[in-house]
């Protein structure tokens, strides 16, 4: 082997894509569970938000890993797409790709870019606000979750206000449809990329992946519209 390092091989890049994707799949589930608390129990949602927002382990270890995970997954996706375009310098005049592969599997870069654009908006709406309060605000960390000058948590109220806007909820709905399409291929694909394929387990895993790609985005959408309806 010409020893260029595993990360520079085609299979190495696949594995980076798969492992970062798998990590984001797990993160998504955690995000969903906390968001769902906002529907069933605002107090529990506030407590969970306060924990996630002020726990040093979450803030200084998990959060940077998550940001790195998103950036690596996105950057590798772009790099792979550019390399793959170069692998066919002259395009087919007629190319009937629909005959042998699904739309979602062929358009991961499109659904991926849409999700990334949504993330930029999403971070602007929630994350930048939190970071500026925590690191550049006047309140100490134990008070940062309160509405200024009170002992009332602000998390649920802020979420309710932002998500209660039907335009915002519509934007989130659209983004989660793209996420669902991305996961419809991505979930099972991660396992294939790391070499896990088995006659007994793979069909079940693929079904679970399809269910995950429908249910998780759907629940996020339900949560968004819950806040519109109850606003």
Partner 1 sequence: MNLTLKVWRQLNAKEAGKVETYNVKDISPDSSFLEMLDILNEQLINSDIEPVAFDHDCREGICGMCSLYINGEAHGPDRKVTTCQLHMRMFKDGDTITIEPFRSAGFPVVKDLVVDRSAFDRIQQAGGYVSVNTSGNTQDANAIPIPKADADKAFDAATCIGCGACVATCKNGSAMLFVSAKVSQFSLLPQGQVEKDRRVLNMVDQMDSEGFGNCTNTGACEVECPKGISLDNIARMNRDFLSASILSKDK
Residues contributing to the site for partner 1 (CB under 8 A):
1-3, 6, 9-15, 80, 83-84, 86-97, 99-102, 105-106, 108, 185, 188-189, 192-197
Q: Which two tokens stand for residue 197?
A: 């394929």
Nearer to partner 1, 99 or 120 (CB): 99
Helix residue ranges, H only, the chain: 10-40, 42-54, 56-57, 63-86, 103-106, 108-122, 128-136, 155-163, 166-193, 202-230
In the bound complex, what is the minimum distance in angstroms from residue 181's beta carbon to partner 1? 14
Provide the angle, in degrees to the nearest 10, between the axes of the packed helices 108-122 and 166-193: 130
In the bound complex, what is the minimum distance in angstroms from residue 17's beta carbon to partner 1? 8
In the bound complex, what is the minimum distance in angstroms from residue 106's beta carbon to partner 1? 6
Q: Look up residue 146 and give its DSSP letter.
A: B
In the bound complex, what is the minimum distance in angstroms from residue 95's beta carbon to partner 1? 5
Nearer to partner 1, 13 or 227 (CB): 13
What span, in angstroms and rounded, lies between the C-alpha atoms of 49 and 153? 10
Nearer to partner 1, 106 or 161 (CB): 106
Nearer to partner 1, 100 or 140 (CB): 100
What span, in angstroms and rounded, lies between the C-alpha atoms of 113 and 8? 23
């Amino acid at each position: 082997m010409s020893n260029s390092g595993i990360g520079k091989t085609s299979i190495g890049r696949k594995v980076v894509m798969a492992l970062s994707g798998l990590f984001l799949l797990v993160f998504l589930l955690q995000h969903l569970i906390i968001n769902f608390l906002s529907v069933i129990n605002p107090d529990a949602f506030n407590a969970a938000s306060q924990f996630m927002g002020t726990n040093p382990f979450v803030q200084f270890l998990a959060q940077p890993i998550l940001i790195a995970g998103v950036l690596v997954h996105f950057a590798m996706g772009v790099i792979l797409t550019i390399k793959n375009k170069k692998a066919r310098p002259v395009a087919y005049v007629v190319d009937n790709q629909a005959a042998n592969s699904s739309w979602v599997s062929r358009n991961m870069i499109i659904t991926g870019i849409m999700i990334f654009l949504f993330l930029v908006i999403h971070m602007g709406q929630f994350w930048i606000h939190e970071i500026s309060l925590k690191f550049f605000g006047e309140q100490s960390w134990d008070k940062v979750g309160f509405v200024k000058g009170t002992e009332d948590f602000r998390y649920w109220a802020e979420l309710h206000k932002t998500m209660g806007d039907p335009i915002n909820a519509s934007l989130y709905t659209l983004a989660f449809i793209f996420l669902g399409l991305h996961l419809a291929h991505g979930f099972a694909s991660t396992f294939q990329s790391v070499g896990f394929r088995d006659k007994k387990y793979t069909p079940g895993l693929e079904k679970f992946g399809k269910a995950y790609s429908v249910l998780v985005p759907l629940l996020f959408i339900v949560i968004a519209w819950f806040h519109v309806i109850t606003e």
